[in-house]
Amino acid sequence: MDNNHLSSLSSSHSRNDSLAQNELLDGFLLVRPVWVDDETVKNCKGCEIGFTTIRRKHHCRQCGNIFCQECTSRKISLPQFGYITPERICNECFEIAYLVGYIISDEQSTQTHGARGLLDIVERGNEHELSNFITYGGLDALVYLCRASHTNDLHQLGTTALTNLSGYESFKPYIIMKGGLPYLYNLILIYYNKISSDASSFDSSNTAKFLDSVSTIILNIGNILYSISISGSLCQRMLIDVGSLEAIMKLASFQLGNLADDETSDEDVLLTYEEMHLRVELARGLAAKTISCLATNPSHQLLIFENPRIGLEKLMDLLHSSTYEVRKYAAKSIAYLSLRNDKYKSALIKDGRVKILTSVIELVDENLAKTNQVTISHACCAMANLATNAESQQLLISQPSLLSNLCQVVSYFITDKEIQRHVARLLANFALYEENKARMLFYPMTVMQNEKEATDEKAEKVEQEVEQEVEQDNSDQRFEESFGSIVPTLIAIGDSPVADVEIQRHIVRALDNLSTEVPSKSHSKLLPCLPLINRILDTVKDEDIRKRATHVLNKLSPPLPSIPISSPFILNNDQQHYFQQYDDDISHFYGQPQNSSDLSLNEKNNITKTEVEVGKNTATTKLTNIDDSNVITSYLVPVENLILLDDQETKTSSYINSSENNNFNNISLEHNYNNHEETLSTLDKPPKLPPIRQNSGALPALLNQFSFDD
């Protein structure tokens, strides 16, 4: 046989060996290194002894550097580089080279030995070694274990080593660059499906050893994914496709499964089983944290919205997970998603998902609510964001008991600034829409079972019935027991110890929206907020808040009609009955000075209270005045200076009395000051009060402002 034929046989044999090896490697083949140029190197890379004609140069087949004979004395096969026969390798590369070769062996025991060796290198934590580990195939071998191996023991060793590597910020990108994430996602799906299929049948394969390995693998993957997700640039590359999203969602809801029957009575096994459950619970929490990081990225948000069955529905289900961390971060993810534009806001809570979201704030017990505090805060934040969109806010507010539950949330978490802020913002956003105002001022405080299935049409019918009940005096008590208003809740938020300027801004905005374009009789529900509005005006300097607060005050405190004093005021029977019943409550009227020159008497409480008494079909007005020297004087009061005020905290009172001829001739004043009674007569030249408000008209015009039929 000639040499050419021998050569062709040899090359054919080599090709067959290479093909067989490639099939064995299942695609695992590293790029051979570029050899260093001989002419540029004078000394050995290892011992640094110079080369001579006797000390020859040798290339390491793994790193490509030049060494002497002593530093490259060992030879091993390097199938990862396509070298089937043993090749020269340097001392520094030897450990990694043979361990990687073991990983791609077809014998499981050899693979296990290689995996443990690679894990040892990673756990040593030497960054120079780790750099070589990544450069010369160590990381590729770990990814290969997760891809090609079918045994949970090898998966456990491989994911444990990857978990350690992911703890180094500089090495995280290589896990993605080497294509590791898809195989980690695949492992989640493999074990999720296996555990789920075995859980109901108590499959004998679910031994304590198997479940222990699975729980470790799942926890390792959770750690890797979360570690990568908190690195902004890497987070953007995590969701490759819908399968990636599905895997992370399943990891967040992973259940361990049941033990085999023959192990359920072993106390040691049961104790270990509890530890396994703890690992899986930690893994679920890490997965939920990962989802919340992914939800901040616009491209990932789009993937979640465009795959509602896998994304939105699974995410909503996580709100009721048995793991606190999962509930908390699922709600946080939903809050991030609620920041999308209006096109996607309503999609987030369609198809029944709104019921799942609003159920988070259905609080039965205060102590139980405290354990879910952060979840509730994130849910309120999401709803406040969604309420800026017409369609999504309608889906929210149509949910039975939503307003009542929000008020309950405020009472349970009165010192939680975030919850207070989100609820105030949500109510302010609801109040922007005309159709919500009546509902917010007259919401059902208790809901019967059949009311939970009410449609919007039925809700409107309830509101109409409520308005009819309001007009009936004898039904007021029953109405208050069945219906409420969000105004007391807004006041409670404003009075809370955590109320800051931002919270007050939302409160004022809510009250401003509620008092705009509503029937005047609805203002009675808003009157209790006046002290809060006045306090905000006294303490807040923000111009926007002050402008809105003043707007609310003006709407709830209309200007007074005039009260001339030139003739007696005759009251009809209805008016007499009204003032006899309510003569001590004229808080419906408020007045304010028109300019700074009018403030002196008002600031010193010189004019503090006005009351109306009825006698012989005439009206009597009471008035008080004290000068700067605390001396009480009496004098004629020009009619244009009269104003009706109400101050329940003062003890002063003054009288304008009618004479028998029904003419107002003078004013006599009595005052109890520092427990000393003083009465002074009319002065010869009575001083004139500074003008407080110019009035014109007649007292009947004032009295007619009341609907006496009410």
What is the DSSP track for 87-134?
EEE-HHHHHHHHHHHHHT-S-HHHHHHHHHHHHHHHHH--HHHHHHHH
pLDDT at res. 189: 95
Q: Kindly give, in sequence order, each residue whose CB lies less than 8 Å from that of residue 457, ignoring residues fewer than 6 positions away.
A: none
Task: Assess whether pLDDT exceeds 70 at residue 602.
Answer: no
* Nearest-angstrom CA–CA distance, 143 and 129: 18
* Residue owning tokens 């001022």: 441
Assess whether pLDDT exceeds 60 at residue 593.
no
**245: Cβ contacts below 8 Å, ≥ 6 apart:** 239, 303, 304, 307, 310, 311
Residue 114 has pLDDT above 60, yes or no: yes
| More confident site: 414 or 3 | 414
Task: Supply 299's token pair.
Answer: 């491209």
pLDDT of residue 232: 80
Look at 257 and 409; give whichever has higher pLDDT. Answer: 409
Residue range 353-370: mean pLDDT, rounded: 89
Per-residue pLDDT reduced to its tens digit, 190-248? 999 988 875 544 444 578 888 999 999 999 999 999 999 998 888 889 998 899 999 99
Q: What is the 3-state secondary structure (H, E, C) of 302-360?
A: HHHHHCCCCCHHHHHHHHHCCCHHHHHHHHHHHHHHCCCCHHHHHHHCCCCHHHHHHHH
CA distance 205 to 210: 7
The answer to whether the Cα torsion of 404, 407, 409, 411 is positive or negative is negative
Sequence-distant (6+) residues with CB within 8 A of 311 are 245, 249, 303, 304, 305
Give the residue from 346, 288, 296, 342 showing the smallest Cα distance to 317: 288
In three-state secondary structure terms, 563 is coil
* Residues 156-180, mean pLDDT to the nearest whole number: 94
Least confident window among 553-557, 558-562, 576-580, 606-610: 606-610
Beta strands in 455-601 (DSSP E): 483-484
**Biggest CA pair distance of the chain:** 152
Residue 177 has pLDDT above 60, yes or no: yes
Element (H, E) at 615: strand 612-615
Q: Given 3-state DSSP classes, what are the helix, strand and coil percentages for the chain, each rounded to the nearest 5?
A: 60, 5, 35
Angle between helix axes 402-412 and 417-430 (nearest 10 degrees) is: 150
Higher-pLDDT residue of 675, 538: 538
Please report, as a single letter, which amino acid is at residue 489: T
Map tokens 């934040």 to a residue: 381
Query: pLDDT (tens digit, 9 = 90+) per residue, 513-534?
Result: 999 887 777 788 888 999 999 9
Give me the residue label for tokens 């290198």: 121
Q: Which two tokens stand for residue 461?
A: 């019918």
- Within 10 A of 449 (CB to CB), how many other CB atoms are there? 7
Q: Higher pLDDT residue, 604 or 246? A: 246
pLDDT at 2 over 50: no
Q: Is the pLDDT higher at 688 or at 406?
A: 406
Helices 434-441/456-470 angle, 10° precision: 60
Closest by CA to 42, choosing from 67, 73, 15, is 67
The number of C-alpha atoms within 13 Å of 619 and in the hemisphere containing its C-beta is 25
Average pLDDT over residues 20-31: 60
The per-residue pLDDT for 524 is 82
Query: Given pLDDT bands bounded at 50, 70 and 90, which one contains residue 261?
Result: low
Residues 680, 219: Cα–Cα separation, whole Å: 89
For helices 373-386 and 324-337, what crossing angle results, to 10°?
Answer: 10
Residue 634's contacts (CB-CB under 8 Å, 6 or more residues apart) are 666, 667, 668, 669, 680, 681, 682, 683, 686
Instruction: Using DSSP, state whether 39 is helix, strand or coil.
Output: helix
pLDDT, tens digit (0-9, with 9 covering 90-100), for 633-648: 333 333 333 333 333 4
CA distance 528 to 224: 55
Q: Tell me the C-alpha distance between 396 and 394, whole Å.
A: 5
Written as six digits, the tokens of 437 are 């105002």
3-class secondary-structure state, position 216: helix
Q: Which residues pair with 43 in a beta bridge?
A: 50
78 token code pair: 């390097």
Q: Report CA Rg, the chain.
A: 41
pLDDT in the model for residue 13: 36
Element (H, E) at 628: none
d(CA 80, CA 700): 103
* Residue closest to 523 by CA, chosen among 437, 612, 639: 437
β-pair type (667-673, 83-89): unpaired
CB 305 within 8 A of CB 312: yes
